[in-house]
Structure 1
Amino acid sequence: MEQFKIRKDGFKEIRKSSLNKAIPISLIALFGGLSISYFNADEQQDVINIFPFLIPLMLGLLAFGLYRGINRQKEIFESYVITFNNNDIIREQYNTSTITISKTDIDKIIKNSNGSFTIKGNSIVDVIDIPSQIENYEKIEKSLSEIRQISTKNNEPFFQKYRLVLSIFSIGLMACVYISKDKIIVGVSGTILLVLLGYSFFEIQRNKSIDKKTKKGMWWLIVVIASIIGNIYFKIMGQ
């Protein structure tokens, strides 16, 4: 049996990229929310008057949230352990479901453009990702190649590659639902938004690589979805 962990200071290699992804999305969401509040207010001047106090407060909370989020990500990332035994490959990680894939059930092994590996089992939910920051990288690659031929993937998955664009699109749909008074715009935007949110919720809940705290926190989407449905109903049926 062989066990491999993340290299010392391995998280530093992904910290910057994580922040580069999180900060723009968070800022867009923040100012999108402020815009919705402004356009929905009965007295828009009153909203403008509190912006000088509200915006710094929200930015401070955003910075604090990002700080805590990065620290939690670091704790989870550095707890990563992958085990190779005679029969299975096992991935363990803090507060995350353990994934075990029998070597005989491995359907595909992919080397991604960032140097990480993806091991896919027979089930769509049985997927083990091995980050490129793993110790003894060459030894792991050799062990994987002995199990099954490694294929190469140069492109990022669609939802990862266009994460920022999809986030902007989703916030735009949210603005249409809450700001627009046109029934068609509200209905179409709301329907697309509900599909996107429902799909995101489903994918996160079934993904074994996402920690339990994140999954638990995603239940707030039910409240958001209920709010969107209510808003669509009253705007379409109430006019």
Structure 2
Amino acid sequence: MKTASLEEIYCSASKNTVAMWAKNAGMGKLREACRYPADKLALATGIQPPMTQPVLHLTAELHRLTQDDPLADVQPASGLHVTFLPLTQPLYHSEDELPANVDQLVHIWRAFQAKTLVIRHLRLVALPSQLLLAGIPEPSAIAMRHAFCEKVLASPWREALLERHSNSPLPAPFWHSTLLRYGADFLPAYLRQFFFDRQDVDFGDVAGDLTFAKVNYNWTTCYPFTTW
């Protein structure tokens, strides 16, 4: 995938969201239950890059803006991450024993672990009830993710991977961290304006070494496989 086409995907996603917002001035239905259980862990791969000043400032602004809104779930600074490839649904608790064949995943991962992933030109991408911080990886990272995905698909973990991506492409095209999840169908007006005011801002680059871990939905709980 060329860089330009990935930029077009991000632009198209935001344009489609803005069009949806235009047809739905209100928040729509509230969610009756949390979509992302904080106590359940999934197997995933990704990076936890150091927080850069532009990203720190952005998240701090978002935290201040939403501090009195109980429907807003803003990514804590401690959980900043960019997912490489999510592997399973959130199936585990921290104390759970993992299946014996997790060693097969670890074996596959050893060819990819500690590789440095650089994500450039971070920008806000709007989804109906979320704000993403998404960027552009180096072409080698895209090829590496496809190679890892193919190896997992050829392993006994194939069905778990397919179930995790049942409603999305495999691998998903976005390279992102979810900055905000909102407990309704659509973002309210003040958060839409937050996006409009910053949609053309380049928030710079982040980089980190790839890790394979048990994580909760926002990576504030993270157990790298070396600690299992």
* Higher Rg of the two aligned structures: 1
Greater fraction strand: 2
Greater fraction helix: 1
- TM bucket by the smaller chain? under 0.3
TM-score normalised by structure 2 residue count: 0.23
